[in-house]
Amino acid sequence: MTSYVALHNGRPASAEDLVPLAFAGYAHFTAFQVRGGRVRGLDLHLDRLRSASVELFGRALPDDRVRAHLRAAIEAGPADLSVVATVYSPAGEFTVAGDDVEPEMLVRTAPPASGPEGPLALGTVAHERVVPAVKHVGELAKTYYLRKAVEQGFDDVAFIDRRGRLSEASIWNLAFWDGSAVVWPVADMLGGTTMGIVRRQLEHLGVPQGDQEVTAEDLPSLAGAVVMNSWTPGVAVHRIGATPFPDASPFKELLHRAYRAEPLVSV
């Protein structure tokens, strides 16, 4: 029988363990796919958890303990999994924990996922996430604006900041193709782990890429667009707002090839 788990600090989580998380919104997390018991970009996930913990709580769990908690959850399930690792302070919200309060960790597993097939149509909305560099759980706006976009006939939503720059989508990073190079939008946003994997592998493959502020006025000049997250390195986007994009299949395959070049490693 397939076994998916929720482990609190490496042990099966009880209802009492889960209550602080169920009624609180001050926590951060990372998510990834496990294939054959191994994961891509482990270093990026560890860096994310460490830096976010320091930012939110002033201290972080040691990497070896984080890895032990992740390993326990992965080894309890099948070879292919989805994993979400959440770090929070037992002091909860609306208080500042002292230096003696150590963060705690919940790791839960679920069936593997690969994201939607696409292509997707993205609505746009003026929105800037609070503390955008942290993958935190206080994200009411993401689901709210996603729902509003779907009501308007879109599949998902992309965010535009106060300077008119596209930053990211609801649960996705954006990437564009200008016909010869990958374009990464410049704005305050979450640096995705999949984005990090793809960027370093594109560099190894010798594929041109660059950072650029991208506004709605720039979209008609671009030759393709995708979204990416922990599910997938690329889902084609055929429209953002009223702007259509050409078929992005070659661009999407390039990103998938770069992602596959990243080695799977054991936790």
* Pair (148, 221) in one structural domain: yes
Q: Residues 86, 31: one domain? A: yes
Closest CA to 116 of 260, 236, 201, 252: 236
Sheet holding 104-110, edge to edge: 11-12, 6-8, 104-110, 81-88, 27-35, 38-40, 264-265
Identify which of 239, 244, 221 has the alpha carbon closest to the alpha carbon of residue 123. 239
Q: Is residue 49 part of a domain?
A: yes
Distance of CA 125 to CAs 10, 25, 36, 173, 180, Å?
40, 23, 39, 15, 29
Domain count, the chain: 2
Same domain, 143 and 106: no
- The per-residue pLDDT for 199 is 98
Q: Is 196 within the bounds of a domain? A: yes
CATH of the domain at 251: 3.20.10.10
d(CA 21, CA 10) in angstroms, rounded, equals 16
pLDDT confidence band for 87 (50 / 70 / 90): very high
User: Three-state SS for 156?
Assistant: strand
pLDDT at 20 over 90: no
* Residue 115 belongs to a domain: no
The answer to pTM > 0.85 is yes
Which among 110, 134, 160 is the end of a domain? 110
Which residues fall within 8 angstroms of residue 202, CB to CB, at 6 or more apart? 182, 209, 254, 255, 258
List, as one string, the DSSP characters of 46-105. Answer: HHHHHHHHHHHHS----HHHHHHHHHHHHHTS-SSEEEEEEEE-TT-SSS---TT---EE
pLDDT for residue 126 = 98
Determine the Cα–Cα distance for residues 38 and 26; give it in Å rounded to an integer. Answer: 29
Question: Same structural domain for residues 161 and 59?
Answer: no
Residue 169 lies in a domain: yes
- Is residue 91 pLDDT above 90, yes or no? no
Same domain for 73 and 136, yes or no, is no
The answer to whether residue 90 scores a pLDDT higher than 90 is no
Same domain, 41 and 98: yes
Query: Rounded distance, CA 64 to CA 25, Å?
Result: 26
Q: Judge if 104 and 131 occupy the same domain.
A: no
Q: What is the mean pLDDT of residues 228-253?
A: 96
For residue 78, the enclosing domain spans: 6-110
| Averaged pLDDT score across all residues of the chain | 95
Q: List own/partner pairs for 67-72 with CB under 8 A and 24 or more apart.
A: 67/267, 68/10, 69/7, 69/9, 69/10, 69/105, 69/107, 70/107, 70/267, 71/267, 72/7, 72/10, 72/107
CA–CA dist 66, 4 (Å, integer) = 19
| CA 36 vs CA 40, 63, 100, 114, 128: distances in Å | 11, 22, 38, 15, 37
Q: What is the CATH number of the domain that holds 69?
A: 3.30.470.10
Rounded-to-5 percentages of helix, strand, coil across the chain: 30, 30, 40
Looking at the structure, tell me whether residues 86 and 54 fall in a common domain: yes
Under the banding of pLDDT at 50, 70 and 90, the label for residue 22 is confident
Tell me how far the alpha carbon of residue 152 is from its chain's centroid. 25
Domain shared by 206 and 167, yes or no: yes
Quote the DSSP letter at residue 221.
Answer: G
Residue 175: is its pLDDT beyond 60?
Answer: yes
Does 1 map to a domain? no
**Length in residues, the chain:** 267
Residues 207 and 142 in one domain: yes
Domain end marker among 110, 132, 149? 110
- Residues contacting 45, CB < 8 A, separation 6+: 30, 32, 39, 85, 193
As a whole number of Å, the CA-based R_g of the chain is 19
Q: Are 178 and 258 in a shared domain?
A: yes
